[in-house]
Structure 1
Amino acid sequence: MKSLCVLFVAIGLASAFKIGLHPLSDEYIAEINSKQSTWRAGRNFEVDEYPYVKVLASGIKKPNGLLKQVKKIVHDENEDIPESFDAREAWPKCADVIGMIRDQSRCGSCWAFAAAESMSDRICIHSNGEKKTIVSAQDLLTCSSAGGCRGGNPSDAWEYWHEQGIVSGGLYNRTDQGCKSYFLPTCDDHPTQCTEYVGTPECVEQCDDASLTYKDQKTYGLENYEVSGEQQMQLEILKNGPVEATMDVFNDFLNYKSGVYQVTNSHYLGTHAVKMLGWGVENGVKYWLMANSWNERWGEAGYFKILRGHNEAGIELWVDAGLPDLGKF
């Protein structure tokens, strides 16, 4: 069973101010860089964006009522696992789909983004590059009961794909990417555009382009499942493509710029969903290769590496996934 929580309080901020440093200040960034050598911190957000950024970092919420039991997958561990792996290189026909960095903007929709991104990747991979269908984070965000702009549950997102289907659709104002594009523009011009949080839009079962039929744009997945632990997660990605992972977010992560991230403080902000697409070793340090949904100006052009093999920030507790049901669309 899972136990996920979201913390929308100022505990992290208060703790940081005890030593006189704001979590997004240049002084705090310098302190991070003085504490470790595997990664470098730098400015991604302005100081007055902290309340908004806490929402971004807290997109996983505890579901109401009893937690559902999710099918667990266990792979044969006798199979060889390469030292490094990048899904973009492993499936070059799908590199443009797998390599797309999205921007959740002013909505706590990471749970929907990481799911829709992984679903899109897997449709392309398992169709041998013939179907480059972008799954709509907007449709999942607004029409499923898995969550909204105040966070959601990844396993419910994958279950919804299996049971109800999710239409195609991509980035803001991009009708060429499918049925339903995302409702918010990117946050490339921080802090002027993304200082305020927004609510979840209503579900609209209609495509942006009137020539497309909503029902016909549905994509579907087979039964969703979970995989746990370093080796099992590697085998899952190696066989089936990127997965949706969850991680705890601490103040220092907001300032990640490059290298292999390790937690340097205990100022917890919330739990966040990201896409896991590979792994490797950098300067002798094992890492997972991850794609975030905070646009390309954050981190390493939207990507980051996190310490592998130590369950850093809870990254190896489980990942959510499912295979596309290509016969249905």
Structure 2
Amino acid sequence: MNWLIAFAVIVVVQATPSLKTRFDAFSDQLIHYVNEKSGTSWRAARSTRFNSVEHMKQHLGALVETPEQRKSRRPTVRYQVSDRDLPESFDARKQWPNCSSISEIRDQSGCGSCWAFGAVGAMSDRVCIHSKGQMKPHLSARDLLSCCEFCGRGCRGGSPALAWDYWKSSGIVTGGSLEEPTGCAPYPFPKCAHHGSSGGYKPCPEEYYPTPTCHWKCQVGYNKTYDEDKFYAISSYNVYGGEKNIMYEIMKNGPVEASFDVFADFFVYKSGIYRHETGDFLGRHAIRLLGWGVEDGEKYWLIANSWNEEWGENGYFRIRRGTDECSIESRITTGMPRL
């Protein structure tokens, strides 16, 4: 598996010092520093969910390609865009209200499968958008997670970019959640409390769940065969990392998948427009980017996370836009559905 050597295997990387003021990942000092620092655009709150740095890393499963790999594996799209082409704010949920998948917040549970969730979420959105609401699949994170052997290591991390290549080459079936087991291959792990709240979910497990086995068949009682249920892409591509370029891609074609560098302070995020203030680098996380806006003069990206709706701003978070905050604008991958 020589290709693995070229990846940064994020889930086991040792923490590297931040150049900013450092505090222990679980300290009151970290939370106080964020909340009291002049000019901070977000609020921090204590989470009893994460009890160790390794526990935090369990939720960070995005493996990254080198620039050379990204260039050689798929084309990179770059648009000629001016300010007048783009609105000040954009929300894919409002732009395509008939596509309910755009508003869904999923839950990766105790599995480092953010790379798969960011992918199938945006894929589902794009099938609906480009079929003009005629097709509304809920593509299966389990199918991608368990069956894409070249994507990475399943619950211990995978490549968001290669997930889109897999959609093009092999297709992905439908599948709901454990709580709502619709479709061909529902997700096998329960929603869990990533955030220490008392909202009714049990705590996430201390150890990773094992990667599910790929069965190449649908659950008993489903009315299609595995092959009949598949959806495919006609293309996978990188999006050039300029702010306006990414905005135009989302406005034109729908949500995209991105990954960003995660530091300890992100795990105490509660609300507002995140920017890294303090704490060690812990890994990389993949998410679904679905819009942008401005609040009190601060530009932001609107992002759907995969830690259920009790985390952050009802499952979403915002992050500073236009400065490549935590490399959020550097690794955008997406594709177009075959209809």
1:219 matched to which residue of 2?
A: 231
2:304 is the counterpart of 1:297: no
Please state whether the residue corresponding to 1:272 is helix, strand or coil: strand
Q: Deviations over 1:270-304 (max 9, x none)?
A: 11101000000011100000011111111101100
**One-letter code aligned to 2:188:** F
Q: Which residues of structure 1 form unaligned runs of 5+?
A: none
| Counterpart contact for 2:184–2:222, Cα < 8 Å | no
CA distance in 1, matches of 2:7, 2:85: 32
1:156 matched to which residue of 2?
A: 162
| Counterpart contact for 2:31–2:44, Cα < 8 Å | yes
**One-letter code aligned to 1:165:** G
2:178 is the counterpart of 1:172: yes
| Counterpart contact for 1:49–1:195, Cα < 8 Å | no
Please state whether the residue corresponding to 1:40 is helix, strand or coil: strand
Please state whether the residue corresponding to 2:58 is helix, strand or coil: helix
Please state whether the residue corresponding to 2:73 is helix, strand or coil: coil
**One-letter code aligned to 1:99:** S
2:267 matched to which residue of 1?
A: 254
Q: Deviations over 1:139-182 (max 9, x none)?
A: 00000121211111111100110111000112224233x11111
Q: CA deviation at 1:237?
A: 0.2
CA distance in 2, matches of 1:69, 1:266: 34
Provide the TM-score with structure 2 as the length reference: 0.87
1:98 matched to which residue of 2?
A: 102
After superposition, the Cα gap between the structure-2 partners of 1:51 and 1:137, relative to the gap in structure 1 and judged at 3 Å, is same
Q: CA deviation at 1:44?
A: 3.6
After superposition, the Cα gap between the structure-2 partners of 1:27 and 1:265, relative to the gap in structure 1 and judged at 3 Å, is closer
Q: CA deviation at 1:220?
A: 0.5
Q: Deviations over 1:121-141 (max 9, x none)?
A: 001111111111011010000
CA distance in 2, matches of 1:163, 1:126: 19
1:124 matched to which residue of 2?
A: 128
Matches within 5 A, 1:177-192: 178-188=183-193, 190=196, 192=203
Q: Deviations over 1:97-125 (max 9, x none)?
A: 10110111111100000000000000111
One of 307, 312, 316 as aligned partner of 2:320? 307
1:144 matched to which residue of 2?
A: 148
After superposition, the Cα gap between the structure-2 partners of 1:295 and 1:93, relative to the gap in structure 1 and judged at 3 Å, is same
2:35 matched to which residue of 1?
A: 33
Provide the TM-score with structure 1 as the length reference: 0.90
CA distance in 2, matches of 1:47, 1:225: 35
Q: CA deviation at 1:305?
A: 0.5
% identity of equivalent residues: 45
2:209 matched to which residue of 1?
A: 198
CA RMSD of aligned residues (A): 2.4
CA distance in 2, matches of 1:262, 1:24: 18
Q: Which residues of structure 2 form unaligned runs of 5+?
A: 1-5, 197-201
How many residue pairs get aligned? The number is 318
